[in-house]
Amino acid sequence: MTQFELRAKDGLARLGRLETSHGSVTTPLLMPVVHPAKSEVSPKQMLAEFGFQMVITNSYIIKSTERFRETALSQGVHSLLDFSGPIMTDSGTYQMYFHSLPDEEIDPIEIVRFQRDIGSDIGTILDTFSDPYVAKATVERDVAISLDRAKRSVGEKGNMLLAGTVQGGIYPDLRARAAMDLAPLDFDIHPIGGVVPLMEQYRYSDIVRATLSAKKHLPPDRPVHLFGCGHPMFFAQAALLGCDLFDSASYAKFAESGRMLFPTGTVQLDRLRELPCECPVCSSTTVEGIKSLDPASRELLLTKHNLYVTAAEMKRVRQAISEGRLLELAAIRARSHPSLYEALLVFLELIGDVDSSVPSAGSNSIFYTGTETSRHPLLKAFQNRIIETYPYRKTTMLLLVPHQGDRPFSDTCALIEDQVKVRGPEEVLLVYVTPIGAVPWELEHVFPAQQCLFPSTLDGSDINIAQERVQRFVSTLSFEECVWLSRDSPTDKIISFVSSRNKVTRVSGVAEVLNLLPPQQHSAPSWTARMIAAILAYQWGVKDATLFGLEHLETSISKATGKIRHIMREGKVIFTLVPMTGLLTPTYEGGLALLRAGAGSDHTVIVDDDAVEFVKQGKSAMTRFVHSASPKLKAGDEALVMDNSGQLLGVGKAVLDASEMKAFKRGVAVVMRHTRH
């Protein structure tokens, strides 16, 4: 069983911890490829000087070289490499492809046994590599051979973790089929194989399609390894695909040919006048200094530079995941090459197939990096959820107000909002027209409505996406009159699209809006009840707020911001409205109220009896004790944790989505916030 757990997520990207027989490592990570006798930098240096937690070497080379083989069998591969950390071994699949070796050169069962016997922490099956240019029928045959070898190999792993490689060439359907066939087998890690030629040809879009096609059919508790991915400019995007492990010999190969790796691409040393790098190598010398060295010394310095840059970029990727900013980093790196940017757009197009793994909410701002920002999965999910859950659909006046979203909406619309607050939704609905789409006034503080920073000049495709979302939302509403307040905002252009489908009254000032508002009715509900009902519907799916007893709720308002802080019933706080996300965090009493209102069906986690007392004490609900979870529950959602009898134990924040809670046997499922006293 794979000893793998997740610590944090950002989209499909994961911060994880993988346990091996030689210690644990933090993922995502890169494993430098090391040769038993040819490494310019020793494996021990890899760890001590550059911080690489794990290395990978080739078991075929070790097995076929007598002096390596005897040492590895008698003393272990760790002694052979003089490396104390975890070691992964490859089986020789790529060597067979690259050197056109005959099929009988490597026995698929013997090579797995050999890896086990030399003490590899992670071994790899001998799969069949498919050239990108061969016919689909050939790739199908290769996939079938790989599957047959996988089935025969998996029982030979012993205590070694074993990697079952997913092949399928450039054909997404074959990648998906291979992943589905491998998933039931007792593998611990799943490499995505056959991508090195695609990397060399800058066919990143094909890698995206192949990886996502496999990823959605693989067990979520097994790390995914993108074989041969060693260029730092692709790390962020590869992690965005959900890959956890990477390996490459590029650091050495590129140095041998006088090339330097950077997060933005590759540069020949001969073309440089300056060293645009702050690594220890570049900060201690000059271009002329490196060029003046003898070939061996120059190659060693370039190798070290490439390792420093590679290690630093992987740290950047892990930090971006922890901050929820990996898509921004990937977008910046995608500007390094048109093929990278094309691949990013392909990813954003395909992410809908696997968006159940996308965390539901965060608190960090989303910075505009280009037109890809409008396609951000969180923005798409936000708009879809509004259309699905918004409780107010019929009104006298629909008031549309363009806004860039660069500051709180109330800062520029205070007079209008004051008048909306004293009217009911059946009288007027206020909707902000923003670069991310339609934002109803009641949800103006909900993430990411005011956490997106867009420039004042938007690309035409950004406007097209925004207007499509606005029109989709408007089409779900019934109204007698539509009023558009023209403003100096890039989204003001959307009026032409809205007015082509609806009769719209265009006004240019706040005073005109106030004059057009329908008369105030004395029976209008409080604005706080109206806003709470909308948030309950958005966050918890409460379709009938009257079941929640809104008329009996009390609220406390922040004097500094004017926002709701706490929601109370009979003097007890049942919800806190989180300022950074605009969402409701329930107390234990709030959890009970949600269950009574029928709002728990998509947010429940049921734990086994063995975990009940621990959860009651406020300890985290661990994955190994999760009996079941609501299928729609996502990482980041508020969760109602219950026992098998249906009794509420407490409320907390889901760390994983429902499928991951069931798949993982290590790590935290829900961080508890409030439990029964």
445-455 tens-digit pLDDT: 999 998 899 99
How many CB atoms are closer than 10 A to CB 268? Answer: 11
Torsions phi, psi of 500, nearest 5? -70, -15
Class of the CATH-defined domain 4-348: alpha beta
Average pLDDT value for residue range 528-538: 93
Of these residues, 10, 82, 90, 181, which one is catalytic? 90
**Residue spans of beta strands (DSSP E) within 59-168:** 87-90, 122-124, 161-163
pLDDT of 645-674, one tens digit each? 999 999 999 999 999 999 999 999 999 999
User: What is d(CA 534, CA 584) in angstroms, rounded to the nearest whole number?
Assistant: 11
**E strand or H helix that includes residue 612:** helix 612-616
CATH 3.40.50.2000 is the classification of domain 366-516: no
For tokens 């809006």, the residue is: 513
Question: Is the pLDDT at 356 greater than 60, yes or no?
Answer: no
Q: What are the boundaries of each domain within the chain?
A: 4-348, 366-516, 549-675
Q: What is the DSSP string of 226-242?
A: ETT---HHHHHHHHHTT
Q: What is the 3-state secondary structure (H, E, C) of 72-90?
A: HHHHCHHHHHCCCCCEEEE
Could you tell me what percentage of the chain is helix, strand and coil, using 3-state DSSP and rounding each to the nearest 5? 45, 20, 35
- Structure tokens given for 381: 């999910």
Cβ contact 634:583 at 8 Å: no
Q: Can you spell out the DSSP letters for 322-362?
A: HHT-HHHHHHHHHTT-HHHHHHHHHHHHHGGGGGGGS-S--
How much is the pLDDT for 395? 96
* Mean pLDDT across 404-426: 90
Q: What is the CATH number of domain 549-675?
A: 2.30.130.10
Average pLDDT over residues 366-371: 93
Report, as an integer, the average pLDDT of 585-603.
89
Residues with Cβ within 8 Å of 389's Cβ and at least 6 positions away in sequence, in order, are 537, 538, 541
Per-residue model confidence (pLDDT) at position 360: 62
Q: What percent of the chain has pLDDT above 70?
A: 98
User: Average pLDDT for residues 200-217, to the nearest whole number?
Assistant: 96
Q: What is d(CA 69, CA 634) in angstroms, rounded to the nearest whole number?
A: 48
Position 364 pLDDT exceeds 90: no
Mean pLDDT of 361-387: 89
Summarize pLDDT for 77-123 with one digit per residue, the tens: 999 999 999 999 999 998 888 888 888 899 999 999 999 999 999 99
CB atoms within 10 A of CB 48: 11
Q: Tell me what the mean pLDDT of segment 145-164 comes to.
A: 97
Residue 669 tokens, joined:
């499922």
Question: What Å distances lie between residue 39 and 23, 220, 389, 547, CA to CA?
Answer: 23, 34, 59, 69
Q: Comparing 56-60, 238-242, 347-351, 521-525, which segment has the lowest mean pLDDT?
A: 521-525
- In tens, the pLDDT along 268-297 reads 999 999 999 999 999 999 999 999 999 999
> How far is 427 from 349, CA to CA, in rounded Å?
39
Confidence at 355, pLDDT banded by 50, 70, 90: low
pLDDT in the model for residue 51: 96
Q: What is the mean pLDDT of residues 147-160?
A: 97
Report d(CA 627, CA 589) in Å as an integer.
23
Q: Flag whether pLDDT at 361 surpasses 80.
A: no
Residues paired with residue 575 on neighbouring β-strands, in sequence order: 567, 586
pLDDT at residue 520, rounded to an integer:
84
Query: Is 90 a catalytic site residue?
Result: yes
Mean pLDDT of the chain: 93
Q: Which residues contact 368 (CB under 8 A, 6 or more apart)?
A: 452, 453, 454, 455
pTM of the model: 0.94
Mean pLDDT for the stretch of residues 220-247: 96
pLDDT band at 543 (very low <50, low <70, confident <90, very high): confident
pLDDT of the residue at 363: 66
